[in-house]
Amino acid sequence: MTTGPALLDRLAEDRAFVAAPSATRVVFGAGTLAVLPEEVDRLGWSRVLVLCTPGQRALGERVAGLLGARCAGVHAGAVMHVPVASVASARTVLDAVAADGCVAVGGGSTTGLAKGLALETGTPYLAVPTTYSGSEMTPVWGLTRDGAKTTGRDDRVRAATVVYDPQLSTGLPVATSVTSGVNALAHAAEALYAPDASPLTDATATAGVQALLAALPRLAADPADVAGRAGALAAAWLCGSCLASTTMGLHHKLCHTLGGTFALPHAETHTALLPYALAFNLPAAPFAAGTLAAALGSDAPATALWELTGRLGAATSLGALGLSVDDVPAVVAAALANPYANPRPLTAAGLTALLTAAVAGADPAVLADELPLEVCHP
């Protein structure tokens, strides 16, 4: 099985599109953290605030050491889902040290803090990602106020430069590596059926899916395998670029509700839900179905992904993450509250079946029996 013909057929389709690739500079390679001072000089910053989570303070200090006199301080205050209070604290430090740029070293939470600061103050940032969330490539910001997360798109929150150094993720635990990787995979999978996909996003998403699926088993077998880490990080870049350029569908909307309203953990939720979202959507999305089938080496890609994540030790049900069947109606109502693009029309019956199977951790293939495609077409 190969993805070649599917991509070539798709390229030959008569369709209209708009493409506006990101202007973010990307520097990639094992050991590239060493070029950070040069990259900061290139941006013309002389007083840099280093951002990280409390758990990555040692890495933050290492980055500060590399930056030498360019570093104005380290703020280890990044928190998952960017509470507005965390942005306010970081802003106090930013103002106190009169920083003219930030270096965000860490995962999506740290990049999210840099985005919050950029949105509020216009301060630019350079990202050094250590997970596979892909946030560093997107103009998407998220802020949590009074327990509710709002997101939006703004070009001011795009990273000026991203430095990808695979050596920095060799310490990322296997469990987080797998779920973070599937978070990236979800961006590419939904880009494959996005209403605003282009030949560029098709090719990028296809390569991202292939690279990620090749890398995951290598990481699980040997977390210190730098080549495997490089493959996953390159996939994160490609998949993040897809998230930046296309409109996400049902899967991302459900994850937003599950994280925001039910406080389910971000990457784990993406991992447990994606096989079910794909089982629901792929019958209505032939290019995505063909690409994922080829990449997973199976004519039942949703089941193959579910089996793979289970083999790699991730939670394969929303029930295991704390969602109960009693919560399903509220999630369905939230998902249907505002209309958005999705390859398969959304109905209460369809979403209830999807979420019930996901809570139970049933083989996603059950959705094909329970929900023949015509059921969801008006």
Binding site for ligand NAD (CB under 6 A): 53, 55-56, 80-81, 106-110, 112, 130-131, 133-135, 138, 140, 142, 168-169, 171-172, 176, 180, 183, 243, 266-267
Distance (Å, whole) CA 169 – CA 234:
12
Query: Which residue minimizes CB distance to ligand NAD?
Result: 108
Nearer to ligand NAD, 101 or 107 (CB): 107
**β-pairing, 125-129 with 101-106?**
parallel
**Tally of CB atoms within 10 A around 325:** 13
R_g (Cα) of the chain, nearest Å: 20
**Smallest gap from residue 19 Cβ to ligand NAD (A):** 19
**Smallest gap from residue 192 Cβ to ligand NAD (A):** 17
Nearer to ligand NAD, 142 or 283 (CB): 142
Nearer to ligand NAD, 234 or 267 (CB): 267
Q: Is the dihedral of CA 304, 256, 248, 283 positive or negative?
A: positive
Task: Report which of 369, 278, 258, 367 is spatially closest to residue 318, judged by C-alpha positions.
Answer: 258
**Smallest gap from residue 340 Cβ to ligand NAD (A):** 17
Nearer to ligand NAD, 77 or 142 (CB): 142
Please identify which residue in the block is written with the tokens 């570093």.
Answer: 71
**Smallest gap from residue 167 Cβ to ligand NAD (A):** 10
**Smallest gap from residue 204 Cβ to ligand NAD (A):** 15
Distance (Å, whole) CA 273 – CA 25:
32
**Smallest gap from residue 315 Cβ to ligand NAD (A):** 15
Nearer to ligand NAD, 47 or 81 (CB): 81
CB–CB of 192/285 below 8 Å? yes
Q: Which two three-digit tokens encode residue 174?
A: 């296997």
**Smallest gap from residue 308 Cβ to ligand NAD (A):** 19
Q: Rounded to whole angstroms, what are the CA distances from 33 to 56, 105, 114, 307, 329?
A: 15, 10, 18, 36, 47
**Smallest gap from residue 78 Cβ to ligand NAD (A):** 7
Nearer to ligand NAD, 112 or 228 (CB): 112
The secondary structure element, H or E, covering residue 150 is strand 148-153
Nearer to ligand NAD, 174 or 368 (CB): 174
**Tally of CB atoms within 10 A around 324:** 10
Distance (Å, whole) CA 280 – CA 364:
9
What lies within 8 Å, CB to CB, of 92 at 6+ separation is: none
Distance (Å, whole) CA 275 – CA 129:
26
Nearer to ligand NAD, 25 or 81 (CB): 81
Distance (Å, whole) CA 35 – CA 47:
17
